[in-house]
C-alpha cells in the first residue's frame, strides 16, 4: 500500500480512539478466522466503524485509524490495512 499522509486531527479524539480499538479487535479476529460467515460479520462491523469515522472526522479520521492499526505491528501493517481498506471501499471520503 502507499504511505499514509499525516493526520490533521488531534491525536486523542475519543470517538476515533473507540473506533480504532474496535477495529483492532475485528482485524485480529479476521486474522484468526479469515473466511466464512463469521468473517463476513467482522467485515460488516469494520465497514460500520468506517462509516462512523467518516461521519466524525471524514478522511482524516479514517486515515488516522488506518495509521494506528498499522502502527501496532510493522510486520502485519500492510495486511491489516488492506483488510480494513477493502471493507471500507466506497464507505466514505477517505478510502476508495
pLDDT in tens, 39-72: 999 999 999 999 999 988 888 889 989 999 999 9
Specify the pLDDT at position 21.
94
How many CB atoms within 10 Å of residue 31?
13
Sign of CA dihedral 54, 55, 60, 62: negative
Specify the pLDDT at position 95.
57
Mean pLDDT of 6-21: 74
The pLDDT > 70 percentage for the chain reads: 82
Q: Which residues contact 41 (CB under 8 A, 6 or more apart)?
A: none
pTM for this predicted structure: 0.82
pLDDT at 29 exceeding the cut of 70: yes
pLDDT at 83 exceeding the cut of 90: yes
Residue listed under C-alpha cell 477517505: 94
Amino acid at each position: 500500500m502507499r504511505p499514509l499522509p499525516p493526520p490533521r486531527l488531534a491525536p486523542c479524539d475519543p470517538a476515533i480512539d473507540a473506533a480504532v480499538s474496535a477495529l483492532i479487535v475485528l482485524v485480529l479476529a479476521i486474522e484468526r478466522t479469515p473466511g466464512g460467515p463469521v468473517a463476513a460479520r467482522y467485515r460488516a462491523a469494520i465497514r460500520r466503524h468506517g462509516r462512523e469515522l467518516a461521519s466524525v472526522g471524514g478522511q482524516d479520521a479514517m486515515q488516522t485509524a488506518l495509521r494506528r492499526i498499522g502502527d501496532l505491528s510493522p510486520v502485519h501493517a500492510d495486511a491489516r490495512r488492506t483488510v480494513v481498506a477493502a471493507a471500507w471501499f466506497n464507505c466514505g471520503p477517505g478510502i476508495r
